[in-house]
Amino acid sequence: WTMAAELNINRKRHTVTVLQNGKVLITGGYNHKGVLRECELYNPSRDQWILVAIMSVARVHHTASLLDNGLVLVTGGGNSDMALSSAELYNGSANTWTNAQSMIHHRSQHTAIVLQSGKVLVAGGWNNGGIAQDTAELYDPQTGVWTATQSMTCARVYHQASLLTNGKVLITGGFGFCSIGMSPKTSELYDPKADAWIRTNDRNIDRIDHAAAVLQDGRVLVNGGYSSIGVMRNSAELFNPLKNQWATTRSMKTPRYAHSATLLPNGKVLVVGGHSDHSLDSAELYDPSTGAWTAAGNMKYNRSYHTASLLTSGKVLVIGGYIGPQNGITEIYSSEM
């Protein structure tokens, strides 16, 4: 672990997007002054952050997705205790933000994932009344139009979305309600071709605020989080899309939620920080070939609700989060290549 340049503006619960040119865009979040409109751009070759154009509105708990055309789509989030329906597009070449068509629903703490078609699937999140929702919608970059999809089988917030190699999207856990009860133990698949949501077999463990990473062999590693009664998890599971089945794997060394999980070029998964009875500075590596977890050193600062992004160099940039007044501090993990 090595220290990297500090942000110009401290922040947590922000978004980070690695652009096509390898630079890193950070948007929104909040700090002691409130919710942020300000954005910054990181140049890995210079280890330098610069302030760039600000968004039209301040956002926290929003999403940011890199489109095939190089633009970044930012959706929803919260602002003054209200969930937003607005969306906007960042053009890195021109350093400009333009308003996109608003979503059909207000959303905060939702998920957004770019499909193989280039469309963006947005699902779940809190609505403007503070209720977890089961709605989902698609943004088409070609037309700039949002269209509703079929609703999920469960309402969800604090869930995870993973794009599978077969083009489907796996949604796991989170807080909310299904027609048959709570949703933390459930998972479901979105099939873009059929515009249908299909429940998978239930996972072995219920999870809220967990992390997920798609492995090189197509399986999905889900780890950590906490249960519907607040029990923190160190357990991990693997979803096999070919068999539509969940299987347990070895547990992490430390229970954690609000952490990150990043697939490395060597096929291992780096899990960083998070919260246990306090924010954590520890990191662990998961090896899919053995199912084993090993320590990956300690960051200089404890952090949770941070971001961890794989750079084009293969290094991982960890930014901000809950680390006290120093939440503008960034660190870099150098992995085995």
Q: What is the DSSP secondary structure assignment for residue 254, as one 8-state letter?
A: S
Residue 214 lies in a domain: yes
pLDDT at 193: 97
pTM for this predicted structure: 0.96
Separation between Cα atoms, residue 71 and residue 138, nearest integer Å: 16
For 160-194, write each residue's pLDDT tens digit: 999 999 999 999 989 888 765 555 578 999 999 99
Instruction: Compute the chain's Rg from CA coordinates.
Output: 18
Number of residues written out for the chain: 337
71-86 pLDDT per residue, tens: 999 999 999 789 999 9
Judge contact between 121 and 138, C-beta under 8 A: yes
Phi-psi region of 70 (alpha: psi -120 to 50; beta: other; left: phi over 0): left
Q: Which amino acid is at 243?
A: K
Question: Would 23 be classed as within a structural domain?
Answer: no
Q: Give 204-227 pLDDT, tens digit per residue.
A: 788 999 999 999 999 999 999 998
Measured over the CA atoms of residue 276, residue 277, residue 278 and residue 284, the dihedral's sign is: negative
> Which residues, at least 6 apart from 198, have a Cβ–Cβ distance to it below 8 Å?
188, 189, 191
Tokens matching residue 202: 């239930």
Q: How far apart are CA 76 and CA 92, in angstroms?
A: 20
Number of structural domains in the chain: 1
Give domain status of residue 206, yes or no.
yes
| Structural domain boundaries, residue 217 | 158-251
Residue type, 304: S
